[in-house]
Amino acid sequence: MSYSRFAIYFVPPKGALAGFGARWLGWDLLAGATVAQPDVPGLAAITRRPRKYGFHGTLKAPFRLADGRDPEGLRAAIGVMAARCAPTRCDGLDLSRIGRFLALTPVGETGGIERVAATCVRDLDGWRAPLDAAELARRRRARLSARQDASLTRWGYPYVMEDFRFHMTLTGRLAVDEVEQWRDIAAAHLPDLPAPFVMDAIALVGEREDGCFEVIQRYALTG
C-alpha cells in the first residue's frame, strides 16, 4: 500500500488496552480497520478528530518522506535506531484531562519515555521532508512559544524535546461543561490500566489514501 505520510508511535500490543482504544475510537491501528464503538450517545462525534490516527502515543509526529528517500530505507533506519534504543517503563497510566481533551498519561518518572521520543525525533529527522509554507502557517495558529516555534522550524513539530508530553488521546476538544461527564464515561469503559506501563517497542505507521493511519511494522527496543 502507498502512504502519504509516516509517523513513529507507541501502539499497545494486542490485549485489553489496545482493544479498548480501538473500540473507543472506532479504528483499529493494528488491523487497519473500522471497529464498532460502544453504544454511547455522542461518542462518535467527540472521537471524530482522533479516530483516523488510532489509539497511540506519538513519538515522532507525521511527516512526508524527504526527496530521495524511500519507505524501505526508512524501515531499515528505524530498525537500526530501535536496536540502539533501550526500553523504558514508568509506574503506570492514568486518565487525565489535558486542556479540553482527555487522554491516558504516564504516572511516575517519565524521563525514559522522553528519551525514546527524543531519539526518534533526532535519529530519523533526515527522513523527513521540510514543512511547506502552508504547514508552517497552520501550526503557528496555535500561538506557539518562541521555543516551540524554533522546534517547529528545526524538527517539523513544536511539541518535542522539552515541550514533549506523552499522551494517548481519547477525545477531540470538548465543551468546557462536558469534560468531567466524558471523563466519567471513559473511566467506566477503561480496562485495568497497566502498572507498570512498559514501552519496549515502537511502531512505524502510515497514512493511507483514506486519511487513516495503520501500523506498518513494529520494532522491539533492544538497546
With b meaning 16 or more CB within 10 Å and e meaning fewer, what string describes 77-104? bbeebbeebebbbbeebebbeeeebbbb
Residue 142 has pLDDT above 90, yes or no: no
* Residue-by-residue DSSP string for 107-120: ES--HHHHHHHHHH
In the predicted model, what is the mean pLDDT of residues 118-131? 97
Q: Which is nearest to 10 in space by CA: 101, 98, 110?
A: 110
Residue 37 — very low, low, confident or very high, per pLDDT cuts 50/70/90?
very high
- Tell me, yes or no, whether 146 lies in a domain: no
- Tell me, yes or no, whether 34 lies in a domain: yes
Cis peptide before 196 (omega within 30 of 0): yes
In the predicted model, what is the mean pLDDT of residues 161-181? 96
Higher local confidence (pLDDT), 190 or 138? 190
Q: Strands 57-63 and 88-90, how do they pair? A: unpaired
pLDDT at 141: 87
Give the least confident one: 15-29, 83-97, 136-150, 199-213: 136-150
Residue 197 has pLDDT above 90, yes or no: yes
Residue 189 has pLDDT above 90, yes or no: yes
Q: Residue 179: which domain range?
A: 6-133+166-220
Residue 219 has pLDDT above 90, yes or no: yes
- Tell me, yes or no, whether 160 lies in a domain: no
In the predicted model, what is the mean pLDDT of residues 128-140? 92
CATH number at residue 208: 3.90.1140.10
- Tell me, yes or no, whether 1 lies in a domain: no
- Tell me, yes or no, whether 47 lies in a domain: yes
- Tell me, yes or no, whether 36 lies in a domain: yes
Residue 122 — very low, low, confident or very high, per pLDDT cuts 50/70/90?
very high
- Domains identified in the chain, total number: 1
